[in-house]
């Protein structure tokens, strides 16, 4: 079975005002838990990462402990932790983490590098070698908007309603290497494309290759980067299981020699926007029919598409339960909007902090 792991980016906020605060250095320094907690681009953010696991229950335990440790580290720095793709309330300008690479990013990319304090969930799935990785990258593309819709958790930013369920995914595409890509065909072409982007100045290094799915630099994995960070850990685990099954399904299709379907990248961009705009509350682009269909039907179609892989991994029931719950109760964005209807954006932040902590 393929191993999988999760990275979560989260925001540090003032417990009394709900505004982001730049205390990541203190949080990381005071962290004494079992999990790895690292700096991100901004001092208002921290990142956690799990170990790779085969069994979803083991991943759940690791992810819960990582979240628990991050909450404790935030509290030690005088902050609360929220798992949200964007910061709901207006705050002071973001502060760059004082590391040379981050400072170069802010300098080179101007306002993009100074204001991109958004938080995603990155799912790593094991691949055997580079050719398999590129085959997966090429083949999963039409299903990525469905994942964006399920994970949508960023309707508000800086005190304003974005009108989107996943505003993070729209903000993220400001980076020149971010978003959907053309198929590469083989590993050599992928490597040439990455090298050309770095040579052009669109990325400082391979770490700034922000494709929706990329070959990880340090691990034998593909890294699926389209999801907002999920407040509810059950959502995160259901999505991770779904992503692993999608990787396995498309890897098997490649091994069987099935031809790669042709998708124009502008159509994928349109489907991506639609998913970010509406989440699971409206229509989505259905890769099976290439038509607009209700979100519930498209999600069910994705689960059917990867059903065999879910059964083999023992994850079918969890994914059925998780996707049904999201469709029934709404994504993270819908939870945020309900909280806002009961108060204001400070209510949203307080609710996020409560739901981010696995012990409350």
User: Is 197 inside any structural domain?
Assistant: yes
Note whether residue 360 is domain-resident: no
Span 47-91, pLDDT tens digits: 999 999 999 999 999 999 999 999 999 999 999 999 999 999 999
Residue 181 lies in a domain: yes
How does DSSP assign 155-214, residue by residue?
Answer: -EETTEE-SSSBHHHHHHTTSTT-B------SHHHHHHHHHHHHHHTS-SSGGG--BSEE
The reply to whether 277 falls in a domain is yes
Domain annotation covers residue 130: yes
- Give the residue among 127, 99, 151 at the shortest CA–CA distance from 216: 127
Under 8 Å between Cβ of 166 and 115: no
**Per-residue pLDDT averaged across 170-194, rounded?**
97
pLDDT of residue 32: 84
d(CA 339, CA 353): 12
Q: In Å, how far from its chain's centre is CA 171?
A: 13
Query: Quick check: is 26 in a domain?
Result: yes
128-144 pLDDT, tens per residue?
A: 999 999 999 999 999 99
Answer yes or no: are the C-beta atoms of 87 and 162 closer than 8 Å. Answer: no
Range(s) of the domain holding residue 189:
4-355
Token output for 166: 């996943």
Report the CATH number at residue 46: 3.30.590.20
| 42: its two tokens | 């901004």
Q: Specify the number of domains making up the chain.
A: 1
pLDDT of residue 116: 84
The pLDDT-based confidence of 35 (bands split at 50, 70, 90) is confident
Task: Spell out the residues 6+ positions from residue 199 whose beta carbon is closer than 8 angstroms to its own.
Answer: none
Q: Residue 34 — pLDDT band, cuts 50, 70, 90?
A: confident
pLDDT in tens, 91-141: 999 999 999 999 999 999 999 998 889 999 999 999 999 999 999 999 999
pLDDT of residue 115: 86
DSSP secondary structure letter of residue 218 = S
Which residues in 32-151 belong to E strands, given as ranges? Answer: 36-39, 45-49, 80-82, 120-126
Check residue 33 and give its pLDDT: 83
* Phi, psi torsion values for 18, nearest 5 degrees: 80, 0
Secondary structure letter of residue 101 according to DSSP: H
């Amino acid at each position: 079975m393929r191993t999988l792991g999760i990275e979560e980016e989260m925001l540090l906020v003032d417990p009394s005002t709900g505004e982001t605060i730049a205390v990541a250095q203190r949080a990381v320094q005071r962290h004494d838990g079992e999990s790895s907690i690292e700096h991100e681009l901004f001092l208002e953010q921290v990142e956690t990462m799990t170990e790779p696991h085969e069994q979803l229950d083991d991943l759940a335990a690791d992810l819960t402990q990582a979240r628990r440790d991050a909450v404790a580290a935030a509290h030690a720095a005088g902050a609360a932790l929220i798992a949200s793709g964007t910061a709901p309330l207006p705050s002071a300008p973001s502060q760059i983490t004082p590391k040379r690479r981050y400072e170069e990013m802010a300098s080179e990319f101007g306002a993009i590098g100074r204001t991109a304090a958004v938080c995603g969930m990155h799912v790593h799935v094991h691949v055997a070698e580079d050719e398999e990785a590129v085959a997966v990258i090429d083949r999963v593309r039409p299903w990525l908007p469905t994942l964006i819709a399920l994970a949508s958790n960023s309707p508000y930013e800086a005190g304003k309603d974005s009108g989107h369920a996943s505003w993070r995914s729209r903000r993220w595409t400001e980076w020149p290497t971010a978003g959907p890509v053309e198929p590469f065909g083989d590993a050599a072409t992928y490597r040439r494309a990455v090298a050309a982007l770095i040579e052009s100045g669109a990325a400082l290094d391979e770490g700034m290759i922000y494709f929706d799915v990329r070959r990880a630099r340090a691990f034998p994995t593909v890294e699926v980067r389209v999801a907002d960070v999920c407040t509810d850990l059950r959502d995160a685990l259901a999505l991770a299981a779904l992503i692993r099954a999608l990787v396995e399904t498309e890897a098997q299709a490649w091994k069987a020699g099935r031809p790669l379907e042709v998708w124009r990248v502008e159509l994928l961009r349109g489907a991506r926007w639609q998913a970010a705009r509406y989440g699971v509350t409206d229509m989505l682009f259905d890769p099976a029919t290439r038509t607009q269909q209700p979100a519930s039907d498209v999600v069910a179609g994705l689960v059917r598409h990867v059903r065999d892989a879910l059964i083999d991994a023992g994850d079918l029931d969890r994914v059925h339960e998780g996707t049904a719950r999201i469709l029934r109760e709404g994504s993270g964005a819908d939870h945020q909007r309900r909280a806002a209807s009961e108060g204001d954006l400070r209510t949203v932040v307080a609710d996020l902090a409560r739901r981010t902590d696995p012990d409350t």
